[in-house]
């Protein structure tokens, strides 16, 4: 009689029952070297009874004979005579068995499964129920009740061994599957022989080594077979899909298949080390592994064509309406509502309704939720997808329509930002204001080599992709040839950039060639930009952004080499000096050596520019003088110095006010009405004179003598020695040079003075006259 086995259909695995050999070693011993206790023996086979599951009987049929009662019965060898009606079977099942004249448990167990399946009137549910109950009792009765030959024992032994090593899948869920397994076991016994199958349990150690060797060979063969199958499947895929990123594809696959969380995690774990789909062929899989089945289904799902999918979505949106496709095409090419309405002979409102209809149908498409994940995967996992990136994925004509529809669609895991012109994985609307603020705080110009560093810094600070930060930056900046310039660039920024790029040694203003070159450079760098036609306006703008570097020469601040400690020392000197004002020339002469050693300042003009640039509004700059007071000038300082000393020489003035030239001292003294030049290079202050009211009558004397011709100071000296000797003695006037200076101070508004002559107001020229 051929072997037949009836497992617990839909229940746990029957292979928990162990078969032992003469030494009472189970199949668990064969695999894990564990020993069990309890069971029964027939010939050379030992059957363990300790781990047998015994489900509770069905209560709906009243008090029936249970599996636990059967196991505990003191005379189990006679229990097979119990009637079938005492078994936990439904009425329909019992009626079928009665028709086949199967009345006892022993008859049920000895009847072949084919005979039971042939009973008329039994449905699939009743047949599965009978096979399930039959199988439970089959494994708990002594073997001599239903096993008659060594061949049957070999079949039984082979079945459990195959179950243990995983050759036979578990659990068995249908009677058809049970029949296939039984046929397979019979075939194995026929091929290997009953003696060989039984001898496995006579030499367990050899069987164990054989098992592991066979298992390793089987695993390698299984892995090789899987690798070949996977490589073949990947080779059939579209080239774009083969090179696509795996994780976005996995996410799209999970969305499309509605996978449970457990399988999502398994797939993510399997593909975690695979950058592209092609890399999957490098992983190891086994035929019986659930991961292999998941990967095979994943690769099978990837056999789509992205262009065909895009066309399918467009067709779904337009619903075979040609006029709607035409409207979408015109709008995707940037035509206005009014222009589209005129061409399509519809109103603007109708155009809006058509677009809304198309978008609504697209939102209902099954492929829409995961379509952007597919696009991202083909773009190597890009999470920020620009319009150009999107269009680069497709090759079919009309792909702009698809882009336009997705811009308007309701996307699950992406959103489209019109200002940036890109799809983003995460919402960017809340960060845009902050990003604009950060980019606005950058310099007006960034060199090409500086741009990536700034973008990378802002991207990391805000936790966004580099591409998104760059796109936000390009909304504020515009790419030029050598650098990035702010779109709202001012003329001040233009001048500053020109100075920085083209004038490392400074620009010499007030020359026609300089203005022409500036306008030429601005046109070449910034395009059609309008600069002031007035050259003085150019001078003023450049002077604002640049630093004075020499007479009429200005330079960009970045080219100035300064020492902070030295500038602080100069600041401290100005702040603590007793005078209110000091000339830049004097200041440069004081710090000349230190400036030469620590900076690139080589003249007083450069020092003036550096002080204005670094100390800014700390002091007042009045022409060539720096002052602590807005009204203080160097004229005042020299006036005070002369007043303090009474009479001074030019040498003493130059010693006190270092850096001043003769011409500068002469100009300042001419601007100071209280300083009187008494002789060559000697000066007194008016406060040192001893003048009386009667002294001013000398005016009448002078008028009397200059009616006919101008009068020299030498002639007037001789006259005053007679008429006003007291005036001369009181003011210590011993020569006509001093007399000329004092009289010019007293009567500068009354007469015309041109050393050494005194003449009436309105005299044209006194040159060529002799004293």
Claim to verify: residue 294 and residue 311 sit in the same structural domain: no
Range of the domain at 463: 438-486
Claim to verify: residue 293 and residue 311 sit in the same structural domain: no
Claim to verify: residue 322 and residue 416 sit in the same structural domain: yes
Claim to verify: residue 181 and residue 62 sit in the same structural domain: yes
Question: How does pLDDT run across 559-601, given as a tens digit for each residue?
Answer: 999 898 999 999 899 888 888 888 888 888 889 899 999 999 9
Claim to verify: residue 70 and residue 160 sit in the same structural domain: yes
Claim to verify: residue 109 and residue 237 sit in the same structural domain: no
Claim to verify: residue 478 and residue 341 sit in the same structural domain: no
Angle formed by the axes of helices 306-318 and 348-363, nearest 10°: 130
Question: How does pLDDT run across 518-567, given as a tens digit for each residue?
Answer: 888 887 777 667 787 788 888 888 888 888 898 888 999 889 998 989 99
In a domain, 284, yes or no: yes
Question: How does pLDDT run across 320-375, given as a tens digit for each residue?
Answer: 888 899 998 898 888 888 888 888 888 889 989 999 999 999 999 988 888 999 99
In a domain, 612, yes or no: no
Question: How does pLDDT run across 215-254, given as a tens digit for each residue?
Answer: 666 666 667 777 888 888 888 888 888 888 998 898 888 8
Strand stretches in 532-610, DSSP E: 547-550, 553-555, 581-583
In a domain, 519, yes or no: yes
Claim to verify: residue 174 and residue 285 sit in the same structural domain: no
- Higher pLDDT, residue 195 or 464: 464
Strand stretches in 615-681, DSSP E: 620-622, 625-627, 647-649, 675-679
Question: How does pLDDT run across 691-746, given as a tens digit for each residue?
Answer: 888 888 888 888 888 888 888 888 888 888 888 888 888 888 888 888 888 888 88
Claim to verify: residue 164 and residue 32 sit in the same structural domain: yes
Contact present, 744 and 698 (Cβ < 8 Å): no
In a domain, 618, yes or no: no
DSSP label at residue 686: G
In a domain, 742, yes or no: yes
Claim to verify: residue 151 and residue 236 sit in the same structural domain: no
Residue burial 32-68, b: 16+ Cβ < 10 Å; e: rest: eeeebeebeeeeebbbbeeebeeeebeeeeeeebbbe
Claim to verify: residue 403 and residue 545 sit in the same structural domain: no
- The total domain count for the chain is 6
CB-count exposure of residue 593 (10 Å: 0-12, 13-18, 19+): exposed
| Average pLDDT score over residue span 374-379 | 90
pLDDT of residue 648: 83
Instruction: Please state, rounded to an integer, the average pLDDT across all residues of the chain.
Output: 77
Claim to verify: residue 131 and residue 256 sit in the same structural domain: no
- Higher pLDDT, residue 288 or 473: 473
Contact present, 409 and 398 (Cβ < 8 Å): no
């Amino acid at each position: 009689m051929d072997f037949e086995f009836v497992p617990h259909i839909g229940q746990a695995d029957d292979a928990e029952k162990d078969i032992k050999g003469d030494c009472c070693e189970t199949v668990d011993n064969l695999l894990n070297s564990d020993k069990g206790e309890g069971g029964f023996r027939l010939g050379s086979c030992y059957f363990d009874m300790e781990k047998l599951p015994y489900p509770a009987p069905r209560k709906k049929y009243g008090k029936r004979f249970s599996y636990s009662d059967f196991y505990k019965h003191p005379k189990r060898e006679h229990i097979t005579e119990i009637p079938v009606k005492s078994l936990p079977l439904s009425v329909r099942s019992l009626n079928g068995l009665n028709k086949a004249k199967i009345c006892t448990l022993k008859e049920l167990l000895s009847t072949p499964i084919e005979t039971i399946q042939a009973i008329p009137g039994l449905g699939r549910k009743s047949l599965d129920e009978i096979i399930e109950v039959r199988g439970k009792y089959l494994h708990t009765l002594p073997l001599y009740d239903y096993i008659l030959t060594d061949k049957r024992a070999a079949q039984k032994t082979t079945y459990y061994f195959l179950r243990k090593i995983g050759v036979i899948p578990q659990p068995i869920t249908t009677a058809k599957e049970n029949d296939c397994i039984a046929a397979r076991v019979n075939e194995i016994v026929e091929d290997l022989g009953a003696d060989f199958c039984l001898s496995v349990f006579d030499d367990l150690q050899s069987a164990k080594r054989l098992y592991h060797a066979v298992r390793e060979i089987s695993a390698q063969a299984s892995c090789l077979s899987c690798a070949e199958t996977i490589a073949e499947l990947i080779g059939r895929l579209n080239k774009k899909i083969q090179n696509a990123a795996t994780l976005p594809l996995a996410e799209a696959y999970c969305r499309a298949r509605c996978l449970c969380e457990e399988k999502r995690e398994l797939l993510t774990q399997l593909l975690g080390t695979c950058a592209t789909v092609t890399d999957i062929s490098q992983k190891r899989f086994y035929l019986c592994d659930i991961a292999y089945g998941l990967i095979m289904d994943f690769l099978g799902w990837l056999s789509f064509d992205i262009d065909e999918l895009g066309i399918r979505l467009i067709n779904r949106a337009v619903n075979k309406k040609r006029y709607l496709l035409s409207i979408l095409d015109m709008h995707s090419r940037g035509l206005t509502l009014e222009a589209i309405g005129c061409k399509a002979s519809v109103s603007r409102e109708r155009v809006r309704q058509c677009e809304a209809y198309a978008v609504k149908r697209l939102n209902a498409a099954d492929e829409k939720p995961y379509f952007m994940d597919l696009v991202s995967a083909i773009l190597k996992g890009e999470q920020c997808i620009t319009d150009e990136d999107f269009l680069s994925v497709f090759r079919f004509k009309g792909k702009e329509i698809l882009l336009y529809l997705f811009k308007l669609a309701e996307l699950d895991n992406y959103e489209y930002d019109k200002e940036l012109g890109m799809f983003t994985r995460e919402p960017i609307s809340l960060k845009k204001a902050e990003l604009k603020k950060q980019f606005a705080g950058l310099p007006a110009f960034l060199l090409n080599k500086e741009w990536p560093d700034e973008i990378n810094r802002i991207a990391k600070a805000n936790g966004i992709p580099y591409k998104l930060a760059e796109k936000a930056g390009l909304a504020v900046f515009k790419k030029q040839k050598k650098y990035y310039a702010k779109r709202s660039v001012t003329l001040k920024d233009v001048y500053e950039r020109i100075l920085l790029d083209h004038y490392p040694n400074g620009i010499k203003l007030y020359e026609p060639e300089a203005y022409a070159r500036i306008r030429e450079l601005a046109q070449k760098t910034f395009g059609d930009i309008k600069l002031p036609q007035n050259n003085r306006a150019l001078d003023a703008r450049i002077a604002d952004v640049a630093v004075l570097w020499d007479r009429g020469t200005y330079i960009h601040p970045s080219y100035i080499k300064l020492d902070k400690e030295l500038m602080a020392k100069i600041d401290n000197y100005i702040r603590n000096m007793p005078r209110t004002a000091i000339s830049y020339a004097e200041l440069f002469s004081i710090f000349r050596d230190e400036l030469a050693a620590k900076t690139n300042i080589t003249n007083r003009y450069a020092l003036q520019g550096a002080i204005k640039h670094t100390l800014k509004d700390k002091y007042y700059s009045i022409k060539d003088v720096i002052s602590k007071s807005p009204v203080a000038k160097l004229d005042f300082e020299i006036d005070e110095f002369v007043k303090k000393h009474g009479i001074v020489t030019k040498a003493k003035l130059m010693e006190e006010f270092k850096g001043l030239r003769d011409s500068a001292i002469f100009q300042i003294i001419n601007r100071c009405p209280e300083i009187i030049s008494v002789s060559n290079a000697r000066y007194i202050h008016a406060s040192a004179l001893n003048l009386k009211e009667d002294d001013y009558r000398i005016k009448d004397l002078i008028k009397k003598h200059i009616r006919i011709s101008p009068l020299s100071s030498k002639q007037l000296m001789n006259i005053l020695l007679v008429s006003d000797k007291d005036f001369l003695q009181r003011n210590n006037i011993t020569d006509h040079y001093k007399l000329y200076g004092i009289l010019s101070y007293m009567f500068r508004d009354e007469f015309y003075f041109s050393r050494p002559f005194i003449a009436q107001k309105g005299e044209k020229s006194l040159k060529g006259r002799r004293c």
